[in-house]
Amino acid sequence: MEELYDLMMIISPIISLLQIAGITFTLLYMHFSAKSRNYTLGIAWYICGFFFSGLTLIVFLLKRKDFTSPDTKMCVNCGITFPDTYNVCTNCGIELPQIDVEEKKKVKKLSKGFGIVVIIVYVISLFVGIGFGTALGITIYDDLDYFLGDELNYYDAADRIDVNGVYYDKKGNSYENAEDVLLYDEQGRVYTYVAEEKYDEEYDVYTYDEFYVRDDGQKYFAYDCYVTTDGWFYCDKAGLLELYTVDTSTMTEEELDEYYNSVLEDPISEYRYYDYPYMDADGNIYYVAYEASWNAQGQLITADNDVPLKQFEI
């Protein structure tokens, strides 16, 4: 998703500028186009143009045919139009409005100029929209292809830490692959990671259900599985565990300062290798099973039981 974020950071300012330009030049074009036809736009036109510039422009162009021609005059008394060479209304006999020829040329020129700019802005917006849509589609497709493709990365082995390229379990047994690491409970039972492939007809892809299977065949949904701070298997089937948090509500001002200073100095010192430590009602800490890692001595790797940092990125 990082590529999608970078794409949005690049395209968002461009889209914002095009939107502002579209609104501004649409309003200017409508104003001078109407003025060149001796028509004064009501405030509703400008409000609609500000909020719905594209739609308002279309309505304006359709409605503009009802305005007087640029080369005519309208009698303010009876509303009949005449060529701009007429000075008196032949219907009611009153004098027709006088036209400033130079001003009229200036207004027509501005109307035409802003009209051209509006076309350019909307054409650019169209191409930017097509380009952004294409890039967005490719980015999303790549992400879906990664998560749902034929080579589905269903096991996040990167969350498990190796020691010199080797993975260990609680008994000190070594493994080449992170997903092969066995888990054990306090009764000595063994748990093996298993991913069962299934076909999703709706999306025409293969997905996986992930389990830890006990040596007697009992299955446990992988995302319900944890290990204790002693490294023993634990299943939270009832969903009672909650994300570990520090209760600062009862801290004094001095305690808060000390706590926040310690966080700033080393924000992940206590749970260096675990993205989401969990806690039960008694305050006991648990780690997600597929993140659990041990060293060659079978000790659970934590901040108190460190491994050389050069072997992985925090």
Looking at the fold, whether 121 and 223 belong to one and the same domain comes out as no
**Cα(85)–Cα(82) distance, integer angstroms:** 8
- Report CA 243 to chain centroid distance, whole Å: 24
pLDDT, mean of residues 167-189: 94
Same domain, 240 and 180: yes
Residue 94 resides in a domain: no
Per-residue pLDDT tens digits for 262-304: 666 654 555 666 767 888 999 898 999 988 999 899 998 876 6
On whether residue 6 sits in a domain, the answer given is yes
What average pLDDT does the structure give for the chain?
Answer: 79
Beta-carbon contacts of 230 under 8 Å, excluding residues fewer than 6 positions away, are 300
Q: Are residues 167 and 139 in the same domain?
A: no
Using the predicted structure, report yes or no on whether residue 188 has a pLDDT greater than 90.
yes
| pLDDT, tens digit (0-9, with 9 covering 90-100), for 40-81 | 788 888 898 889 888 888 888 888 777 666 666 677 777 677
236 and 113, same structural domain?
A: no
Indicate if 136 and 244 belong to the same structural domain. Answer: no
Q: Which residue has the higher pLDDT, 279 or 247?
A: 279
Distance CA 182, CA 172 (A): 10
Within a domain: residue 11?
yes
More confident residue, 90 or 7: 90
DSSP state of 78: T
Q: Poorest-confidence range of 2-6, 152-156, 183-187?
A: 152-156
Q: Which residue has the higher pLDDT, 102 or 185?
A: 185
Mean of the pLDDT values across residues 164-189? 93
**251 and 290 housed in the same domain:** yes
What range does the domain containing 120 cover? 2-68+101-148
Same domain, 39 and 180: no
Report whether pLDDT(23) > 70. Answer: yes
Is residue 245, in this structure, part of any structural domain at all? yes
Residues 24 and 120 in one domain: yes
Statement to judge: residues 44 and 106 lie in one domain? yes
Identify whether residues 163 and 307 lie together within a single domain. yes
Q: How confident is the model at residue 194 (pLDDT cuts 50, 70, 90)?
A: very high
Helix (H, G, I), strand (E, B) or coil at 286: strand
Residues 136, 162: one domain?
Answer: no
**Does any domain span residue 83?**
no
* Beta strand pairing call for 242-243 and 205-214: unpaired
User: What phi-psi label fits residue 217: left (phi over 0), alpha (psi between -120 and 50 degrees) or beta?
Assistant: left
Q: Please report whether residue 33 resides in a domain.
A: yes
Strands (E), the chain: 72-74, 81-83, 167-168, 174-175, 183-184, 190-200, 205-214, 219-221, 225-228, 233-235, 242-243, 278-279, 285-288
Structural tokens at position 51:
């909020």
pTM flag (> 0.85): no
